[in-house]
Structure 1
Amino acid sequence: MKLAVLSGKGGTGKTLVAVNLAAVANNSVYVDCDVEEPNGHLFFKPVEIKKEKVSIKIPVVDEDLCLGCRKCVDFCKFNALAAIINKLIVFDDICHSCGGCIMLCPSHALTEKDKVIGEINSGISEEVKVISGMLNTGEASGIPIIKELLNKISSEEKMTVIDCPPGSACIVMESIRDVDYCILVAEPTVFGLHNLALVYQLVKLFNKPHGVVINKWMAGENLIEQFCNDNQITVLSKIPFESELGAINSDGEIAAKSEKYYGLFSELLKTVVKEVEHETVTHS
């Protein structure tokens, strides 16, 4: 079973939920796809870490073969190529490695080279396999790293929890492509509601079953609950706004390891599993 944890913006408690769900599941895999700023490993503190570089293909020009026809320049929608006084220049930092320029070149003046854009770290934390991606600063896209991360998930794994990047951009779409269920984490503020609406539209676009976790919940009128009621979205759990939980999280500790919060996250996991099983039966 693959679960994706999303939020419309950073700081809503996405990693809090993802880390603790992986911790209460038996023999689980935690995958940190927030490759621009991964922090799940700070909670798990994995050991036996293995590092692996991730590379993409970047075009290289042979000036002796280049005809100066500009077909590659006109093709590139990312402006990663420029022709200046009949000299072709490649801007590595904004190239998206589509390979189109190489296919179009009539004189075969363009070939490819490897460029390292980041790395993947894999380790173990008790019964949890921890896999994190890190994008090098200034790189155009983390999608190649996310693809490599998700390729490391075995079909035999009992439970995989994917900690998605914040927002609703392409890297989030890649993170949820093959998951069984999406958990949307939101905080009860006007800004939180706006960003929840964005990821809600995203999971609907991908036709993914989903539910909402309300973080920093307090009794009384709640914008997120009202939104969920209006749109018939299941509220999976309400994580209370408590200083004790905030302190545990800010210290880089896993809240589910404490007696007080273990029940909260184990019940959340049971609820999500039931939702997935219900969806499976409904669509079988």
Structure 2
Amino acid sequence: MKLAVLSGKGGTGKTLVSVNLAAVAGNSVYIDCDVEEPNGHLFFKPKGIEKEKVTIKVPVVDEDLCIGCRKCVDFCKFNALAAVLDKLIVFDEICHSCGGCILFCPTKALTEKDKVIGEIQSGVSDGVKVITGMMNTGEESGIPIIKKLLKKNSNETAMTFIDCPPGSACIVMESIRDADYCILVAEPTVFGLHNLQMVYELVKIFNKPHGVVINKCLQGEKVNLIEKYCNDNRIKILCKIPFESELGRFNSNAMIVSRKSSKYYSLFSSLLQTVTKEVQYETVTHS
């Protein structure tokens, strides 16, 4: 079972939820697809780390074969190629590795070389397999890293938790593509509601079963605006996490709260049971 945890913006509690769900699940896999700013490993502090480089293909020009026809330049919609004084220049930083320029070159002056854009780190933390994608600064897209992250785990049978990038861009779409269920994390603010609406529309496009975790709930608050939105749209509310200083203190010190407090262990264990039942229900309903 693959569970994707996503939110419309950073700082909502996406990593808090995904890390603690993986921790209470025990023998599980945690995949950090937030490759621009991964931080799940800071909580897990995995041991026995293995590293693997992630590369993409970028064009390289043979000046002796290039005739300056500009067909490759005209083809590239990302302006990753330029012809200056009959010399072809390749801008690796904005190349999208589509390979089209190589196909269009009439003299075979363009070939491909590997370019390292990041790495994958794998380790273990108290029974949890921790897989982290890290993109090099300044790279155009983290999608190749995310694809390799998920492919690396394709044959895994243990329960898998995917910590998605924030927002609703292409890298988020790639992260949830094979997920069995999506957990949307939101905070009860006007800004939080706006961003919940974005990811809600995204999971509907992908036709993914989903539910909402409301984080930072104030005590004594009867119905917050996120809860009202979910009720109005018949979205399942999976859990409400209270806004507490103890939780904030644990989290800001990169501690896994479910491993430090029986109260929070019970909270996230209950959430995991709720999500598991939702997935089982969806499986039976659509089988």
TM-score with structure 1 setting the length: 0.98
Q: Report the counterpart of residue 272 of structure 1 in structure 2.
A: 275
**Mapped contact 1:16–1:249 kept (Cα < 8 A):** yes
The aligned residue for residue 232 of structure 1 is 234
Which residue number corresponds to residue 122 of structure 1?
A: 122
Equivalent position SS for 2:167? coil
Consecutive unaligned residues in structure 1, runs of 5 or more:
none
Q: Could you tell me which residue of structure 2 aligns to residue 140 of structure 1?
A: 140
For the 8 Å contact 1:29–1:157, the answer to whether it is kept is: no
- 3-state SS in 2 of match to 1:82: strand
Shift of 1:206: 0.6
Other structure's SS at 1:20 match: helix
Cα offset, 1:231, TM superposition: 1.2
Report deviation, 1:95.
0.4
Distance 2:134 2:52 in 1: 10
**Any residues of structure 2 matched to 1:165-184 within 5 Å, and which?**
165-184=165-184
Counterparts of 1:21 and 1:117, CA distance in 2: 30
1:83-115 deviations in Å (ceiling 9; x for gaps): 112111110000011111111111111000111
Amino acid at match of 1:149: L
- Where 1:203 maps in the other structure, the secondary structure is helix
| Alignment of structure 1 residues 1-284 onto 2, 5 Å | 1-218=1-218, 219-257=221-259, 258-284=261-287
Q: Work out whether residues 36 and 134 of structure 1, in 8 Å CA contact, stay in contact via their aligned partners in 2.
A: yes
Return the alpha-carbon distance in structure 2 between the equivalents of residues 127 and 187 of structure 1: 30
Shift of 1:64: 1.4
Contact 1:53 1:119 in 2 (8 A): yes
Amino acid at match of 1:264: L
Q: Secondary structure at the match of 1:229?
A: helix
* Secondary structure of the structure 2 residue equivalent to 1:98: coil
For residues 14-39 of structure 1, give each alpha carbon's deviation from its aligned partner in whole angstroms, at most 9, with x where no partner exists: 00000000000031000000000100
Partner Cα separation in structure 1 for residue 73 and residue 114 of structure 2:
21
State the TM-score, normalizing by the size of structure 2.
0.97
SS at match of 2:240: strand
Q: Deviations over 1:147-180 (max 9, x none)?
A: 1110111434220000000001110010000010
In structure 2, C-alpha distance between the alignment counterparts of 1:156 and 1:143, rounded to whole Å: 21
- Rounded to whole Å, the distance in 2 between the matches of 1:113 and 1:232 is 51
Instruction: Give the 3 Å change call, closer, same or farther, for CA 36–125 of structure 1 in structure 2.
Output: same
The 2-side partners of 1:55 and 1:124 are apart by 24
| Amino acid in the other structure paired with 2:123 | G
State the Cα distance separating 1:125 from its structure 2 match.
0.3
SS at match of 1:66: coil
CA RMSD after TM alignment: 0.8
Q: Identical aligned pairs, as a percentage?
A: 78
Question: Aligned equivalents of 1:238 and 1:150: distance in 2?
Answer: 29
Q: Helix, strand or coil: the match of 2:8?
A: coil
Partners of 1:204 and 1:19 lie apart in 2 by 25
CA drift of 1:69 comes to 1.5
Q: Supply the distance in 2 between the matched residues of 1:170 and 1:116 (Cα, whole angstroms).
A: 21
Q: How much has 1:8 moved relative to structure 2?
A: 0.3
Contact 1:9 1:195 in 2 (8 A): yes
Q: How many residues align?
A: 284
